[in-house]
Structure 1
């Protein structure tokens, strides 16, 4: 079970990320000295700011009155004001939700959503050499990483990797969804690349884990009416939100998508979305946070890359020892894209050899993962 991001942090924490936490800190300490206040709207807290010690405090993207801003600066604080005109908040304190990224979808379609507008901004600025734009992207991605780390403290995270081309309505998609459901029911936090296809299926399964088995069967039928995000992201996403509306209290999971692949929209079934501009940061971060293991479903170039991106730290034991790796579909990984023979060759005489497995069917993956986790 993931903690609630909206809950106020302990008063001993250095970061203040919600208005509730700000009020709690002021009630308990009466001082903001040395603290970091991140993306909290303080326009209604002028009196509190005028009476607070702000020595060595930092305010990141916090709207406040000019009077309050002048006062906290005079008290020794650094103030990084909100950046106007952006379709995203570079200082955001919490991860995105599907509702955040798809706001406006129901009435006006995907093109008007914050997700689509952020991608357009990225396309316009990524090659213009503007140091300010690149700084904003870097600050945003670091804020997302910070929020993701805070969310996953103590979680047993299993990454599920697979291709975006896996269509709704196929048995492969249904199998990936059942995998996500079983992992969630086994007490794992499911983490994916946050996009469509196999990624969406695994997040859907985690969402369905709190319902009876019939719910997933019904949801799969509804989603099959819009099998792919092409040609219409709008219809694809609306179908997902229709499922969420019918079953509104689904289980939690994490998606880690990227605007680098703007043609891949995020999926609506990950309760927490850590969306990045930098794909390299996203790829490494997803694998590094999959501390309880990774399941690799059939995929193409991106999934092959992820197999060996994960194998490298396992080979060198650079993350405290190898984590389990389960490759699903014997024919795919030995004949179609023969990653398994190379992975086995790398693992020979290494501790990681006891942490890798190849299984024929997705239904075998949870058992294999559990077995590898118990091996010495």
Structure 2
């Protein structure tokens, strides 16, 4: 028996039953393929007949006879893990509908809330098996995110979770997301409430006429915050989605580390992580066309310098543009700008940072910096 290789190209990944059928039909072989989280219980005859040497089946349900055969033929089989509120081997990013399934009952019944509860319990227990499952899940999410963003020009929009619906700041962040999406950028946020939700909402509104966003903002203002009721807050977002279906795509990258903050329902693709450090690094590293930082507190300050650090040490290419919005906030309330300037003067990144007074100036500043 030949050992299973430890690498395979992305074009040998199978992440849906349709892809599985297409591969088998085209070549009659699954050798060296990686099959992620596909239910193969109705494909027993295929698995018994095709070559599976060197294949890896990650979380794929299959008949015991088929599992025994593919193992004997040299495949590795990692069976599904029962009793989990998430799939650690998932091949695709989450959708809002998936994370908020059962919201009609209550937010506590949703997969998102149940995954957070599982995380809290297993983190307290210190279960090594649970920590391994979290790591596998997060790596699967990163793989799916990379596949989604191939060739995309991504602009990250960072800002505080406390920005309430119905405020002028929230409206401005939504208009920013809409303008960036209409300019051809993929908007990526931390995926949570506040400024993050507003930017994802703007990208969702991009295909519609301008009046749609005005009406949507009015509807959302009836539930200004996820506190005290996540259920009411999320239902308001889904009401908007149902009234204006098929909005524009964007990416949200939240974390169950801050699971008390729910993900927002306007990001069409949600890469939700257990490890916040992996999430933060992944969000900023993938913002290849620049990052806009709206007013925020500790988390946003951390993100500014998480982004500045690789820019500071960049030696092979151009640092990514950084635009900070609201001069008073970043020079007085949280005086981040002077320190960022002092770092920038020492490296080639000085021409790639900007501080603007108003959110409306951010797209032009981004363009001026080369975003």
Q: Is TM-score (shorter-chain normalized) higher than 0.5?
A: yes
Once residues 46 and 162 of structure 2 are traced to their aligned partners in structure 1, the CA distance between those partners, rounded to angstroms, is 52
| Structural RMSD (CA) | 1.1
Runs of 4+ in 1 over 3 A off after TM superposition: none
**Counterparts of 1:291-330 in structure 2 under 5 Å?**
291-317=288-314, 320-330=317-327
Structure 1, gaps ≥5 residues long:
1-10
Paired residue secondary structure (1:363)? helix
Shift of 1:205: 0.1
Q: Answer whether contact 1:313 1:319 (CA < 8 A) is retained.
A: no
Instruction: Give the equivalent residue in structure 2 for 1:186.
Output: 183
Shift of 1:349: 3.8
Of 40, 43, 67, the residue aligned with 1:42 is 40
Structure 2, gaps ≥5 residues long:
1-8
Instruction: Give the equivalent residue in structure 1 for 2:229.
Output: 232
Shift of 1:319: 7.2
Shift of 1:215: 0.2
| Structure 1 position 199 matched with structure 2 position 196 | yes
Of 74, 81, 84, the residue aligned with 2:82 is 84
| Structure 1 position 347 matched with structure 2 position 348 | no
Of 244, 249, 271, the residue aligned with 2:268 is 271
| Structure 1 position 247 matched with structure 2 position 244 | yes
TM-score (norm 1): 0.95
Of 216, 219, 222, the residue aligned with 2:219 is 222
Instruction: Give the equivalent residue in structure 2 for 1:30.
Output: 28
TM-score (norm 2): 0.97
Paired residue secondary structure (2:257)? coil
Once residues 305 and 220 of structure 1 are traced to their aligned partners in structure 2, the CA distance between those partners, rounded to angstroms, is 29
Q: Alignment length, in residue pairs?
A: 363
Shift of 1:318: 5.9
For the structure 1 residues 12 and 168, does the alpha-carbon distance in structure 2 shift closer, same or farther, using more than 3 Å as the test?
Answer: closer
After superposition, give the CA deviation of every residue in 1:225-279 in whole Å (9 maximum; x if it has no partner): 0000000000000000000000001000000000000111000000000000000
| Structure 1 position 55 matched with structure 2 position 43 | no
For the structure 1 residues 319 and 149, does the alpha-carbon distance in structure 2 shift closer, same or farther, using more than 3 Å as the test?
Answer: farther
Shift of 1:12: 8.2
For the structure 1 residues 80 and 366, does the alpha-carbon distance in structure 2 shift closer, same or farther, using more than 3 Å as the test?
Answer: same
Instruction: Give the equivalent residue in structure 2 for 1:212.
Output: 209
After superposition, give the CA deviation of every residue in 1:190-213 in whole Å (9 maximum; x if it has no partner): 000000000000000000000000
Paired residue secondary structure (1:13)? helix
